[in-house]
Amino acid sequence: MSRSHTPVGYCTNVHPAEDLPGLLDQLDVHAGPIRQRLGVPLLDVGLWLPAPVAAELAAGPDARALLKDRLAANGLAVRTLNAFPYAGFHADVVKRAVYLPRWGDPARTEFTLHCAEVLADLLPVDGVGSISTVPLGWREGWGPAEDAAAERELGRVGAFLEELYARSGRRVRLAIEPEPGCVLDTVADVVAWLRPRVESGSLDPAYIGICLDTCHLAVSFADPVTEIAAVHAAGLSVVKVQASAAPEVPDPSDPRQRELIGRFVEPRYLHQTRELAADGTVLGVDDLDVALTELPGGGPWRVHFHIPVHADPQPPLRSTRGTIVDCLRELAGAGAYDLEVETYTWAVLPPETAGVDLVTGITEELRWLMAAAREEE
């Protein structure tokens, strides 16, 4: 694979900090030590900035200078931000709240603009970066009026990113991240939604593209080759890849496998579950506990629960990390994109799946992804 993407990094939404001191602390306590263990001179981190922190940094050059100093002291670089969660991402119960505010709400726009302002200041001169964002919102209560509002607000962001590039020389691109259960559930949904708006000129593909989360892609039972080809055929780009893996249940009718996947039921995050039926139909429910009572179990399940990319769940459960490799291969030479590990669920993993402390675990994930990227060069 040609070196068309930025160096491998990891997303800091795994850390629960919700204020600037906490953000700075996580760089010292986690990101810096991870870089040291990897033995690399510079490590990319994809920062998650909760909305209040993004606003503080966007408004305060001194605050941004403090962040830049702490990044430099730890040998860290920033080329991408995660602006999907707005705030409270490590609350006791998150579930559907993670999709709020949805696109069309000016609060989502303001948050994204703040993140863009911050990222432009963190990028090197002539740098290119990305911001991943929610796939419009949760599907329920969405209609034509919501579509129109989302298009309007995304157009505002695109115009701002163009102006930001003109005055800073840094190009920031917004990346819509499809997720099961949302308005834009799959990569195909994002393509179908964006394509006519790009063709009409209301949205500019130079400033808006797709974030490919490989866990979400695998859960949908989609073929990476087909999906990525469709993105490019539509004149769109994959501008960010979040390398993540899902647990697969080969035979959910097996009591042992049901017992093992049942250990992943937890109250914080939503774990959308999909079943591949014998006729190729994909069945789905919105959470794992519901799957255990309502899905027929006639075909394999995949669960939206980000598991460490380097490790297998307890057999006979499997990992979908092969989807990561397939995506890296298909994106070879397809243009620049940001690449990061995004396993935000370490705190809620079953103990037998987690197994190690956070710094060790993320270090091993990065080693695996770095090796996988090298193999596709």
Give DSSP secondary structure letters for 213-235. EHHHHHHTT--HHHHHHHHHHTT
Q: Is 50 exceeded by the pLDDT of residue 245?
A: yes
Of 148, 114, 147, 146, the C-alpha closest to 131 is: 114
**CA 89 to each of CA 105, 180, 326: distance values in angstroms, whole numbers, following the listed order:** 19, 18, 29
Cα 217 from chain centre: 11
DSSP 274: E
pLDDT at 128: 95
Find the mean pLDDT for residues 345-367. 94
pLDDT at 3: 35
Find the mean pLDDT for residues 306-334. 95
pLDDT at 4: 42
Percent of the chain surpassing pLDDT 90: 93
pLDDT in tens, 280-290: 999 999 999 99
CB-side neighbour CA atoms (13 Å) of 205: 18
Confidence of residue 377 (pLDDT cuts 50, 70, 90): low
Q: DSSP alpha helices (H): ranges in 235-357? A: 255-262, 288-294, 322-330, 351-354
pLDDT at 352: 87
Q: Is 90 exceeded by the pLDDT of residue 355?
A: no
347-353: list long-range contacts, CB under 8 Å, 24+ apart. Answer: 347/14, 347/16, 347/90, 348/266, 348/268, 348/269, 349/307, 349/308, 350/263, 350/264, 352/263, 352/314, 353/307, 353/308, 353/311, 353/313, 353/314
Q: Where are the domains of the chain?
A: 9-246+311-375, 247-305
**Sole residue written with tokens 């899902």:** 246
Q: Is 60 exceeded by the pLDDT of residue 6?
A: no
Q: Is 60 exceeded by the pLDDT of residue 366?
A: yes
pLDDT in tens, 179-234: 999 999 999 999 999 999 999 999 999 999 999 999 999 999 999 999 999 999 99
What does the longest C-alpha to C-alpha distance in the chain come to?
A: 60
Specify the length of the chain in residues.
377
Q: Is 60 exceeded by the pLDDT of residue 5?
A: no
H or E element in which residue 9 lies = strand 9-11
Percent of the chain surpassing pLDDT 70: 98
Per the prediction, the chain carries an average pLDDT of 96
Q: Please give the CATH number for the structural domain made up of 9-246+311-375.
A: 3.20.20.150
Do 74 and 31 touch, CB atoms closer than 8 A?
Answer: yes
Confidence of residue 326 (pLDDT cuts 50, 70, 90): very high
pLDDT in tens, 13-67: 999 999 999 999 999 999 999 999 999 999 999 999 999 999 999 999 999 999 9
Q: How many helices (H) and strands (E) does the chain have?
A: 14, 14
